[in-house]
Amino acid sequence: MSAKLKLAFFSPINPVQSGISDYSEELLPYLARYADIDLYLDENLNPTNKTLLQQFKTYPVSKFRAQAGNYDTYLFHMGNSAAHAYIYRSLLEYGKKGVLVLHDYVLHHFLIGQYLNNGKAQEYIREMGRHYGTEGEATAREVIKGRLPEVLFRYPLCEPAIEAAQAVLVHSSYAQGLIKARFPEKLTGIARMGVPLPPLVEKKIARERLGLAQDEFILTSLGHLNPYKRLDSALWAFRAFSREYPQSRFVLVGSPSPNYNVMGMITALGLQGKVELTGYASGEKYANYLAAADVCINMRYPTAGETSASLLRIMGASRPVLVSRTGAFEELPDDTCVKVDVDEAEEELLLEYLRLLVRRSDLAAQLGFNARRHVALQARLSDAAHDYYLFLCRVLGRVADIEPEPPTAFDEKLQPLSSFTPVSQPVTKEVIADTLTPYSLLEEVAQAAAEVGIAEDDFALKKIAESL
């Protein structure tokens, strides 16, 4: 058997509040089966994971230049946040001997901060022009004025990072296809996203720990709150849902993005007291919020080309979850989650799915069971680490002769912590059509009319009904 690889590993780790911090800390012990790894961290970062410090040597990034020759290759973990600034600088300098692990295909938001917060507006305009021509330059000037935030997804600005790297590793066929279309000659591979399979926590116990009511239907969103998580659509749907099911609550677990006024939306929709903002949660508290949920929501559009570890954690906890039908989410089996179309009917469809899941607890439970089984069999951290090893050997021209860990069997008798009758079909629009109650648009109109003071015998209401 050949010697282990020797790797330099660049990634944020805790206490940096980033999903990639958690991902790296979970992956590293499994990756150590195939490589001796040193961690290179941002200057003055004091890691909080003591177990990690016992297993791996850590260095400030300023030490890397003197030690770069000690490694077979380097891994640069890049995401679309400021936590990756030191990694990006290192990638541009040393990437030709390294592998870019691209967690987000869109890096534009990160780079805007790097350019504009450091007085480099003209350099930003030039870089946009280099990759996207005069249209890119014009867009950059509009962005500098604070306009067109959603257009950033059309111009991912990941090109400098991809150009700098010897090879690129992603987590989905979707992301790989985007890179191949732009850089057909670039060596690109896929490593499955892996997460730990959590122990199942009784919903009643989780709610007791969090002080949540036992008799409420709880919808939960977990993860950073930003404009692309479709919270506007989710809140609209929840408002209509809560009229029919007053014993319901929407819990938003995560820190809000700057300048994203979630509370303003909640107030505008009259949902004070029905929607709870918890702020950032991790560890045991995060697990309890997850276990306390009846249904979770993990929607996003536009997509940054990411594969969501937070979604896999939800699925691993056996929670039924609603996702957007876009990007890497499309690659999930249809019987493991509910995929919501991103179109003009998004809000209405989301509402109908919620109605269905609250009426069909058997279907919700089956979704959760299928989701957990998928994570247990297809999202193992040991498999993710072996995918890294195979790709790194390919990059280095080595023979991959360290065997993966054997697969683990999933106990088919292990069910979510509630009894249910198995249902085999995925939750689709067709399933909804077969199970809908006669609730209709007319009820929505009647409710809205009452809210603005239109009485039942009002002439305007009669004209509305005639038009419908």
Residue 150 lies in a domain: no
The closest of 436, 460, 466, 432 to 448, measured between CA atoms, is 460
- Asked whether 404 and 383 are in contact (CB, 8 A), the reply is yes
Exposed/middle/buried for residue 263 (C-beta within 10 Å: 0-12, 13-18, 19+) = middle
Q: Give yes or no for residue 73 having a pLDDT over 70.
A: yes
Spatial separation of the C-alpha atoms in residues 157 and 159, rounded to whole Å: 5
pLDDT at 260: 82
Tokens 């050949």 sit on residue: 2
Compute CA distances 381 → 33, 321, 377, whole Å: 12, 21, 10
| Residue 372 domain flag | yes
Segment 318-328 shows an average pLDDT of 94
Asked if residue 128 is part of any domain, the answer here is no
State whether 252 and 359 are in the same domain: yes
Total structural domains within the chain: 3
Instruction: Pick 398 or 422 by higher pLDDT.
Output: 398
pLDDT, residue 421, reads: 46
CA distance 397 to 403: 17
What's the one-letter identity of residue 34? Y
Residue 320 lies in domain: 203-379+411-435
Q: Is residue 406 part of a domain?
A: no
Residues 226 and 375 occupy one common structural domain: yes
β-pair type (57-60, 321-324): unpaired
Q: Can you give the pTM of this predicted structure?
A: 0.85
CB-based contact 20:79 (threshold 8 Å): yes
Do 211 and 355 fall into the same domain? yes
Q: Is the pLDDT of residue 356 over 50?
A: yes
Whether 362 and 222 share a structural domain: yes
Same domain, 422 and 452: no
Position with higher pLDDT, 305 vs 182: 182
Q: Give the mean pLDDT of 27-54.
A: 96
Identify whether 15 is preceded by a cis peptide bond (ω within 30 of 0): yes
Which residues have a Cβ under 8 Å from the Cβ of 78 and sit 6 or more positions away? 84, 87, 88, 91, 100, 101, 102, 103, 104, 107, 161
Q: Is 434 helix (H, G, I), strand (E, B) or coil?
A: helix
Domain C-terminal end among 190, 212, 231: 190
In a domain, 46, yes or no: yes
Pair 26, 174 in one domain? yes
Last residue in a domain, options 190, 211, 235: 190
pLDDT at residue 6 in the model: 98
Query: What was the pLDDT predicted at 58?
Result: 97
* 129 within some domain: no
Q: Is there a single domain that holds both residue 310 and residue 247?
A: yes
pLDDT of residue 412 exceeding 80: no
Q: What is the mean pLDDT of residues 418-425?
A: 47
Q: What is the CATH number of the domain that holds 207?
A: 3.40.50.2000
Residues 353 and 449 in one domain: no
Rounded average pLDDT over 318-347: 92
Classify residue 151: in a domain, yes or no: no
Are 431 and 289 members of one domain? Answer: yes
CATH number of the domain where residue 97 is located: 3.40.50.11930
pLDDT digits (tens, 9 = 90+) for 196-226: 999 999 999 999 999 999 999 999 998 888 8
Residues 27 and 100 in one domain: yes
CA of 346: how far to CAs of 172, 231, 319, in Å?
24, 12, 21
- What is the average pLDDT score of the chain? 88
pLDDT digits (tens, 9 = 90+) for 136-151: 999 999 999 887 777 8
pLDDT at residue 419, as a whole number: 42
Q: pLDDT, tens digit, for every residue of 148-183?
A: 777 888 999 999 999 999 999 999 999 999 999 999
Residues 338 and 301 in one domain: yes
Task: Check whether residue 65 and residue 213 sit in a common domain.
Answer: no
Residue 195 maps to a domain: no
